[in-house]
Structures are given as structure tokens and as C-alpha cells.
Structure 1
Amino acid sequence: MMDDYTLPFWIYLGVVTVFVGGAMKRIVASHLSAAPTLVAWLGATVLVERLWAFCLPAVLLLALLAFACCLYSARTGPPPTNLPAHGKAVFITGCDSGFGKATAKHLDSLGFEVFATVLDLTGDGARDLQRTCSSRLTLLQVDITQPQQVHQALLDTKAKLGLQGLWGLVNNAGVCVNFGDAELSLMSNFRGCMEVNFFGTLSVTKSFLPLLRHNKGRIVNISSPAGDQPFPCLAAYGASKAALNLFTNTLRHELEPWGVQVSTILPSSYRTGRSSNRAYWDQQHKQLLQSLSPALLDEYGEDYVTEIKDLFHSYASQASTDLSPVVQAIVQALLAPQPRPRYYAGPGVGLMYFIHSYCPFSLSSWLLQRLFVKKKLKPRALRKEGLEINLNLLNNNNEEKLQ
């Protein structure tokens, strides 16, 4: 029976096999949760079974897949033991609150010597770190957009470390200073996001790289899925994180000969900083309305801008307050013998990237629009246009009836 099939047929089957095998490898590497992984395996099995039904029994195919799973499990074996934290120094930016503050506390409890930067040494975050952490933790007041402050932090860190060297750099400091359509966002918002999220991180990384190369240490950059996927109303923030992601990936290749490992953390939605503060969103909303020209505000409508503000506040208030997945991902990136290039920290991120990588772009885009900021209103000009079209259609129908 198999002699009846031509060479192109077998080439086609070979291409399908390579595709499915590559997909399985990406799925396993993505470290998705059990349910999506199982669904993906079953889906791939059904796909191959439908294509090969006339030349390979489905039972045999399942047996082959099970055998491949066994081989993979046997090859990977038990996870290797993490490196010891004792005697290792880590520099963390943006520790006033959120991921930075939680990470500084946890790393200090593990025995790291932590250098934590804050914007305000007298603020609540700094006082909390001083009160709850050991004497090993050093607080430094640093605005990463100010080169002089970054350089001074480097001098202070080197002075305290001496010959010990720096093991890890965690670039956590970041801002999201805009919400709304790209046309509605000020140029200062785009520049503000780039200044902190990209240029500030770049400045810190370049300054501390000699210390990291000396120790063959680790760089961990906290990024966002918005840097890879087109989240609505986050153009300024997403563009800055996209620049950070590309820089991180390039740095990973360049530092490999030096023995420095570079990882990206991609968190899901978490309630950090001022994100759940209604007063913060009201202030952002007020500033946005004041900055828009009368013509642009008329075309979009104040109710359209207000709806976006309410949606962002609602989304942020429902975000998780348990920051432990992100903190644990940072620990793994610092202490795993072979850290991953990317860590998906939090529920749904791995699945989101799987859909983004393997499903049609239209599906990924539709999910982002439906799950992130679920707008109900159109811009006012489009609503007027739609109303005029409906009125014209109604008038035409009435004229046809009269005729």
C-alpha cells in the first residue's frame, strides 16, 4: 500500500513531522501549566492522526509520542540543585514598592548581600526594607535616568564589595505613564517610558557590566508581554519594553563568551505601585483631557477617554496581589545552574505566548482586545458616521417604499 505514495507525499509528511516536533519542543520549553500543555499535545496528536490515518494507525502514533515523552523525561532527569546564595551580592533597581521591594526582602532572607535602589530614602518603602531586612542590605537613593546617580551607586557598591565582585543585576525599575490610544498620548509620555524603561536600564547595565563579567554573574531584566504583543492603549509602554527585549536578547548573545547569563522575566497582571489607586487614574485622566486639542477631543469624545480610564482602573484593581511567582522566577534566574532565557511569571502568560506564536495573528489580536481593555464605545466621530449611514439607509428604504 505504501508503494502507491509519491515522493512529494513523503516530503510533505516529513515537513509536517518537523513542524509538529518543533511545536512540541516549544511547548515543553515554554513551561506552560499542565492543562494547556495536555491540550496542546492532544491537539497535535489529532492533527498528525488525521494526516497519517491512511498509513499509520493512531494507536501506533500515540505509542510513538509516549515513547518520545519517556525519552525526554529520561534525558532531562531531576532538576539540578540551585547554586548557594551565601556570599553572593545582587544589585536591584526600583525597590520602593512592587516586585523590587518584594525581591529585595526575599533575596535578603536567602542570604544574599542586597544593594537596593529607591527613589526616596525617607519613603515608606525604604523604611520598611530597613525595618524588616538584615544588616546585609544596603539602600541607595538612585534615579536611573540620572547618570551621575547611577555612577555614584556604582562607586558605593564597589567600595562595599571590595574584591568580592557582583553576582547579579536585577533591572526592575520601570514606569507606565500613559493610557489611551497612541494618537491621544503625549510625546512626553513616549519619551518618559523610553527614558526609564530602556535608557535608564541601559545606563545601569553598562555601568555594572565590568563587575558582572568579573564574576561571570547574571543579569535579570523585568519586562512585560506588552513588549512583544500589541496590547491596546499601551503603545508608549509597549514600545519601551520592546526596545528592552531586543537589547536583552542581543546582550545575551554578546555576553555568552564572558560567562554572563541574561534572562528576561515576563510577568502577568499584578497589582503594584499606584496601579490600583483610583486617585492616580483620575489624575492621569485629567492631565490627558487637558493636553488634548479641542478638535481631537471632539473626534474621540470625552466619554471615550473616560471609559478607557475606568477600564484601566478596573483591570488594575482585579490584578493579583501575590507577587511570589515573579520573585521566584527572579530567584531561579539568579541561582539556577542553567537559567532560562525567558521566564513566564504568573498564570496565563505562557498560554498567551503560545497563542501569539502558533495561532493566526487575528486570533491573538482579538484575544488581547477582548481580555485586556474591553472597550464598548467607539470614538465619537465613528459613532456619528455610523449614525449617518443608518439614517441614509433608512431614508433610502422609505423612498423605495413610496415609489
Structure 2
Amino acid sequence: MELSSSPALWAYGSVWLLFSFLFFFKYSNSDMVLSPSLLLYVVLLVLFEWFCHMYLPVLLGILLLSSACWYILGIASPRKMLPIEGKTVFVTGCDTGFGKATAQTLHSMGFKVIASVLNLESPGAKELQQRCLERLTLIQMDLTKPEDIQKAQQIIRMQTGDTGLWALVNNAGYCAHFGDAELTMESTYRSCMEVNFFGTVKITKDLLPLIRYAKGRIVTICSPAGDFSFPYLAAYGASKAALARVMDIFRHELGPWGVKVSVIQPSSYRTGAHFNPSYWEHQNQQLIDTMPTALLQEYGEEYIADTLVQFLEFGKTACLDLSPVTNSIVDAVLSENPKVKYYVGKSVFLLYVLFTYLPESLTSHQIKSIFLKHRSLPRALKQKRTSGQD
């Protein structure tokens, strides 16, 4: 068979032909600017195509190359933004982290911002009050309390008047435990679902009449832990998985109303108390105090302590700069055609591509290398191995 008739070459050639056509179409319609960074991406794409062709199975290589082409076409297109005047945005969970940064960013852009906090006397709430004197309304809201949600709805209805609510940013979230699923208390599963799923769905449903009226946006912070089976995040991951699924359903159902729904999938960022050692030490001690004696004997206090150490070490690699996430939220709020999903942070898009198309045996190995590489064994397993060696 001649080299030029190879099915692989035909397949790769078809991808390049389609990419070239779309690239030229966007450029000819002034939807693309040939910047140095864009040209660098194209050069890297050529090298990536060579790698796929030489070292990967044809189907996997074509899928990865197609994803890379689609990504480059997406970042090459300037986003058309809508006017800000007269638009109100409600952001939940603004005491710290993404919520606080988003409220500040949207306020600085000229939006009227309504921000919910758990405590009006918290340092984050006071900072927002000091820095955002005009066009900012702070409300105290706990997503596990229906009366708080009802009060927030009433305030938002009064604040928005006849314009409706342009955007709801579902940021408030809760992660109470990092550890084995068997060791996670039932109350932790319930509390994660109450905040991350039930509370978020409740506030979204209650505000939908105002959002539908404005033909506005729903932007929700989810997590890769909800899409992939990361060890030690069972309660948090399950709640985020449920949230991501219902937001996808909202997206389909609310499309005819003119409402656009986006999900933000951030990588690891250092936000709030979630990377505060004292917070997690308290959570671990509470876990040990409430754990059945037999279960504690099998796992051992040292195993639980080691889990905390590994988590805190992992937390040191978390990104301090929250701007990639806030920029994605702003794009979802203001872009004429927001993305359905925003993959934000180091390697998170690559993570989704690889975990979607690679065999499960390879992705399982990768998960183990990230979460289980330096883990000690539970006490009972250590004793079995020791006795087996005697």
C-alpha cells in the first residue's frame, strides 16, 4: 500500500482540511486576530499532530487532534460582550474565595451586585462593604435554611424591579472531609448534598422567574471531582456530580426561554478555609471522636493523620491566583455566546480529554499516582502484611 493511501494519513488529512477551512473562515470574517500567541499554538498543533501520528492508535490520535483543533479555534475567536448597563448579578458564597473575588470584579466593571455571605461580620463581608460602597448589596444567607433563601429572593426581587435578574452565580459550596468513603460520616454526605445540591437547586429554582424574565444567565461552580472518581472526596464529589447533572438539564430546558446555563470546572485553587490546616485538623479530630471503635481500630489514628498530611501537601500546589476563574465567570455572565463548560486552571482541559478517551486501566493508574502514591496502609492491612512476612 502506498504511504499516501494510508487510512491514518487520510484521517489526519481530513482533520487538517476541516481545521484549515474553519481557521480561514474565521479570519476572513474578522472573527480572529493573528497574534504571536495564536501562531505559536498552531506550531504546537503541528508538533502534536506528529506525536499523535507516530505514537498513538489512529482513533485516539484523531480524537485528541480534533479536540486540540477545536480548542485553538475557540481561543482564537474574540468574545463578543454584551453591555453592562442596567444588569444585576447575584453571587452566592462571597465570604472568601471565588465568590468574593467575583463580586469585586463584577462591581468594578459596573454591574449592580447582590452578594450573599454566611456572616455579615466576617472579614470578607466587611472588606466587600468597604471596597464596594455603591451598587453592592450584602445579604446573609445559609443555603441549608429555607427562610434565608426566601428572604434573599424577596430582597433580589425588590432590587431588580422591572429588569429581572440578569445572572445568578452559584458559587457557595461545602467540603467537610477529605478521606476514605467508608470513614466519611453520613452527616457529612448529607451536609454536602444540602449545600452543594439541594440548597443550590432551591435558590436557582426560586430565582428562575426573574432570570427567565431577563433572558439571563445561570453560572455554577462545579468540580472535576464530580466528573471523575477521585479518592477521598466521595461526599463532595457526589454532590458536585449531582449539581453538574441538574445544571445540564436546566440548560436544555431553559434554552427556549433565552436563558443560558454555564458550568465552571476549576482545577485546584486555594480558597477560604479549605486549605487552612487548623480547619482540617478540627475536622479530622471530629471524625475520630465520632467513629465506631471497631472501625477506628481497623484503620488506625495514624492512617487518618497521614491522610490529612497528604491532603495538606497536595493543597500547597493549589493556585493562589483566582483571576482565571473570575475571568471565566465574567465571560459566562457577559458573553453573547457563553460556553457550556469552562475548564479553568493548570492542565484541567487536558485532564478531561485524557480521562474521556484513554482506557480505564490507564486513567486508574493516573488517579493512583496522584492520590495514592505516598499513602500508608490502614492498621489492619499493615498487621496482615507483617504477619504474612513472619
1:308–1:373 CA contact under 8 A, matched in 2: no
Q: Is the 8 A contact 2:90 2:169 kept in 1?
A: yes
Match of 1:355 in 2: 354
Identity of aligned residues (%): 46
Aligned to 2:329: 330
Q: Contact between 1:227 and 1:245, CA under 8 Å: does it hold in 2?
A: yes
On the 8 A contact 1:311/1:374 being kept in 2, the answer is no
Normalized against structure 1, the TM-score is what?
0.81
Offset of 1:158 from its aligned partner?
Answer: 1.1
User: Match of 1:79?
Assistant: 78
Is 1:41 aligned with 2:49? yes
Question: What pairs with 1:236-315 in structure 2 (closer than 5 Å)?
Answer: 236-315=235-314
- Say if 2:131 is the partner of 1:141: no
Distance 1:101 1:94 in 2: 7
Residues 108 and 134 in structure 1, CA contact (< 8 A), matched pair in contact too? no
Counterpart residue identity of residue 281, structure 2: D
1:179 aligned partner: 178
- 1:364 Cα deviation (Å)? 1.7
Distance 1:83 1:243 in 2: 31
For 1:220, what is the secondary structure of its paired residue?
A: strand
Larger gyration radius, structure 1 or structure 2: 1
> Offset of 1:46 from its aligned partner?
3.0
Letter in 1 for 2:139: L
Q: How far does residue 39 in structure 1 lie from its aligned partner after superposition? A: 6.1
Work out the CA distance in 2 between the residues paired with 1:186 and 1:76: 43
Structure 1 unaligned residues grouped into runs of 5+: 53-60, 392-403
Q: 1:51 to 1:136 in 2, by over 3 A?
A: closer
Residue 136 and residue 223 in structure 1: after superposition, are their counterparts in 2 closer, same or farther (change >3 A)? same
Shift of 1:389: 2.4
Please show how residues 216-255 of structure 1 align to structure 2 within 5 Å.
216-255=215-254
Q: Which residue number in structure 2 is paired with residue 400 of structure 1? A: none
Amino acid at match of 2:247: T
2:349 partner amino acid: G
Corresponding residue for 1:346? Answer: 345
Give matches, 1:8-157, under 5 Å: 13=7, 17=11, 34=41, 40-46=48-54, 78-157=77-156
Alpha-carbon displacement from aligned partner over 1:97-155 (angstroms, at most 9, x marks no partner): 00000000000000111000011112111110010114101101111121121111111
Q: 1:36 to 1:389 in 2, by over 3 A?
A: farther
- Give the aligned CA root-mean-square deviation in angstroms: 3.1
| Offset at residue 227 of structure 1 (A) | 0.1
CA distance in 2, matches of 1:77, 1:277: 38
Aligned residues: 359
Asked if structure 1 preserves the Cα contact closer than 8 Å seen for 2:95 and 2:119, the reply is yes
TM-score (norm 2): 0.84
